[in-house]
Amino acid sequence: MPSSAPILRPKKPQPVNAHKADAPISYDINIPYIDVNGATKARTRYPEYLPTWDKMWFDPLPPFEYDDPALRVKDKSKRNLLTPDAKVTEIQPQIGSVVEGVQLSQLSNAAKDELALLVSERKVVAFPNQDLIDAGPEAQESFMRHFGKPNYQPVSGTVRNHPAFHIIHRDGNREEISRFLEQRTTTTLWHQDVSYEIQPPGYVMLGLLEGPEVGGDTVFAATDMAYKRLSPTLRSWLDTLRVTHSSAKMINHARSTASPVRKDAVDTVHPLVRVHPVTGEKCLFINGEFITKINGLKEPEQKWLMDFLMQHIVSGHDFQARVRWQPKTIVIFDNRCTLHSAIVDYLDDDYGAKLRHIFRLIALGEKPIPVYDQFE
């Protein structure tokens, strides 16, 4: 009697497929590596500031003489900047101020020098309702040239014909953000801007063109205060360490996503503790994204020290200031004595970002000053 069981036939051999690598997630959730479209242009009030990726190439930055404008100020009262119409409100006692009643576009050179001193002292200063936002890219670049040499962006979107601009523009990007959050537990990315350059930024300008009604804040941490909270024994050791800052991870990510690259990777050795030329304070010079090596330490020791210092800074809410944005606000901060992170919380339930459009301009400063001369 025939069996009722199904007839089993040998399966055909299946081809063996090589492992297919997953597409890399965004290196930085604030930098979408995608072009904007016509609908995006129609939704923004500032189409001139939509990111472009024009082909260009920049050679390595050579050393240059830097004259910090804050060191030119003789009258510490800042009477040219803080006129009787100015109102200064502290964000936190030791870090951060909001200045109202001052238009940056109207400042004299003497007032700009005093602004550099104020930023060195307060570390981050916000100026709401600035007409400089509507003055155009050339006026904004001209303003920042007073504070130092411009930096040209190696990978991110810029303003056409103005490569010193770093443009952050988000409007939707659901798939990209969802894929990022599948792998990451937070959107925060604590860092110091462009720390891999031989002479990293001193003063940095952020300008908000458009943003959500709520969310999209930026948090700053004071690295001089973070340094002071450590024990004298640990501080004395950190003063002797040198670290390698590299842009290789960022450059390699851009190339892996077929994004334009305008500059080869840069590796620079800096002191882990730098002396601020204006305040004289010792500041931790650390970066969770760009540091690849702590000279003289083995890999487990490097990881332990980096994890400890970054967690110390990230959890130090008593030396942090959270800046809340409103359109046409300009923030100027001192990159030498702060770390910062954008807060990407302006998302809907499908991980789509609300419209946020911001630009950054950098003024490169001095070569980081070590605690001891043997670093030179």
| pLDDT tens by residue, 217-265 | 999 999 999 999 999 999 999 999 999 999 998 898 888 877 889 999 9
Pick 156 or 152 by higher pLDDT: 152
Write down the pLDDT at residue 153.
85
| Residue 8 scores a pLDDT above 50 | no
d(CA 333, CA 322): 12
Ranked by mean pLDDT, the top range of 41-45, 172-176, 232-236 is 232-236
| Residue 15 scores a pLDDT above 80 | no
Closest CA to 371 of 246, 296, 270: 270
Token pair for residue 255? 């190339």
The residue with tokens 């260009």 is 56
Domain 38-375: CATH architecture, name and number where available: 4-Layer Sandwich (3.60)
Mean pLDDT for 293-314 is 96
What b/e sequence results for 258-268 when a residue is b if at least 16 CB atoms lie within 10 Å of its CB, and e otherwise?
Answer: ebbbbbebbeb
Pick 2 or 346 by higher pLDDT: 346
With a pLDDT cut of 70, the percent of the chain lying above it is 85
Token pair for residue 108? 């004299």
Q: 83-97, 152-166, 343-357 — which is least confidently predicted?
A: 343-357
Domain ranges of the chain: 38-375
**Would you call 236 helix, strand, or coil by DSSP?**
helix
Query: Over the stretch 328-369, which tens digit does the pLDDT of each residue have?
Result: 999 999 999 999 999 888 877 655 678 889 999 999 999 999
Contacts of 150 (CB under 8 A, 6+ apart): 141, 144, 164, 361, 362, 363, 364
Beta carbons of 279 and 121 less than 8 angstroms apart: yes
pLDDT band at 54 (very low <50, low <70, confident <90, very high): confident
Mean pLDDT for 108-135 is 98
Write down the pLDDT at residue 39.
59
Beta bridge partners of 172: 353
Beta carbons of 359 and 163 less than 8 angstroms apart: no
Beta carbons of 235 and 272 less than 8 angstroms apart: no
- Residue 87 CB neighbours (<10 A): 11
Pick 17 or 203 by higher pLDDT: 203
Write down the pLDDT at residue 26.
53
pTM of the predicted structure, to 2 decimals? 0.89
E strands, 74-136, are 87-90, 97-100, 124-127
